[in-house]
Amino acid sequence: MEFLDWFWLATTIVLAFGISFFTIPAIISIANKKNIADQPDNKRKLHVINIPTLGGIAVFIAILIPYLSSGYLAGIENFGIIVAASLLLFTIGLFDDLIGVSALNKLYAQCTAAMLLVLGGSFVIENLYGVLGIYALPFWLSALFGVVLILTIMNGYNFIDGSDGLAASIGITASLLFGLIFYLSGFVSEAVFAFVISAALFGFFFYNKPPAKIFMGDTGSLITGFFLSVLAIWLLKYIPDLYLWGIAANPVWLLAILIIPLYDTVRIITIRLLEKTSPLESDKRHIHHKLLEKGYSPFKVIAVLLGVNLLIFTLIVLLSPYLVNTHLAVLALIASLILLPVKR
């Protein structure tokens, strides 16, 4: 890259961080004055004082404004569909943070956004490249798989937003890994979008780290989860052309990058279905809750789960010369050995 390219890349990323970092204090002040806060309930929530929400507003504008004003937008096909779907999720998340929205209505909004992205923006997964012996997919199945993947990632990210700084840390790590893979493979526009997400979340993290001064709320968790799902689908679409320092990518990399929210989602939904309760019902049995119950501090929860995340991703990348289903089996084994000991 030439100097001017590096300059615009750095400017876009710094702008994303700056908007997030400098906007949040104003949001905290307004939220405190208007009493827009998440109140402790002595049941599921971990905080004992009112904490302002709406941090997701800063994250959302810190992602979109720098990217929409950059020259990298031209390299993304159907980015307008991404913006339209994200605006829908932003709206429903904001309503939920302000007046409350039922879990079912939020699910309807998520499904609508996912279908808009898949059917309107052609975000379909056409090939699984041998995962479980599956290769090319018919359009109807690829579209269905795309919708299910988007919903899973969005809800998985929402599930881990339960301990100070954790969701932001997971989002920063995942978007940086996606960005690194895209950048080293020559997909610069996609890489910059990933780096902008990480920069916006990093600016938010300064106020969300333990003890949190603000939460991202459903506004932030829905938007961030959605953007991570966009990165995930790009990774699956571009698999044949993706490399990390000469190592060819495969679909299991996606599972390794998002192992914490995906594993927790499968785990918690399985528990709820076995107990014949609603999968959408909130409780305190997520992985981070169990670690906190064991006496881990919120900072230690972040360190442990990010450490597990990076360890698993590194091992999966190093195993890339092997067959993709060997990857999948190793990933399942590692996740089980490390995460299954966390009791229900």
Of 256, 261, 199, residue with least CA distance to 226: 261
Split into its structural domains, the chain has a count of: 1
Between 122 and 18, residue with greater pLDDT: 18
Highest mean pLDDT among 15-24, 37-46, 131-140: 15-24
Q: What pLDDT, in 10s, does the model give residues 39-89?
A: 665 555 554 467 888 999 999 999 999 999 988 888 898 899 999 999 999
Assigned domain for 206 exists: yes
CB-based contact 330:319 (threshold 8 Å)? yes
Residue 92 lies in a domain: yes
Residue 107 CA from chain centroid, whole number = 17
Please tell me the distance from the alpha carbon of residue 135 to that of residue 196, in angstroms, as a whole number.
Answer: 32
Q: Which domain holds residue 292?
A: 3-339
Q: Is there a domain that residue 13 lies in? A: yes
How many CB atoms within 10 Å of residue 1? 10
3-state SS assignment for residue 44: coil
Query: What local confidence, expressed as pLDDT, does residue 42 receive?
Result: 55
- Examine residue 14 and state whether it is found in any structural domain, yes or no: yes
User: 344 lies in a domain?
Assistant: no
User: Are the beta carbons of 176 and 13 closer than 8 angstroms?
Assistant: no
DSSP string for residues in 268-328? HHHHHHHTT--TT---S-SHHHHHHHTT--HHHHHHHHHHHHHHHHHHHHHTTTS-HHHHH
Whether the predicted pLDDT of 38 surpasses 90: no
**Residue 281 belongs to some domain of the structure:** yes
The number of beta carbons lying within 10 Å of the beta carbon of residue 134 is 13
Q: What percent of the chain has pLDDT over 70?
A: 92
Residue 198 has pLDDT above 90, yes or no: yes
Domain-located, residue 199: yes
Phi and psi, residue 244, nearest 5° = -130, 105
40 in any annotated domain:
yes
pLDDT, tens digit, 9 for 90 and up, residues 295-330: 899 999 999 999 999 998 998 888 876 767 777 787
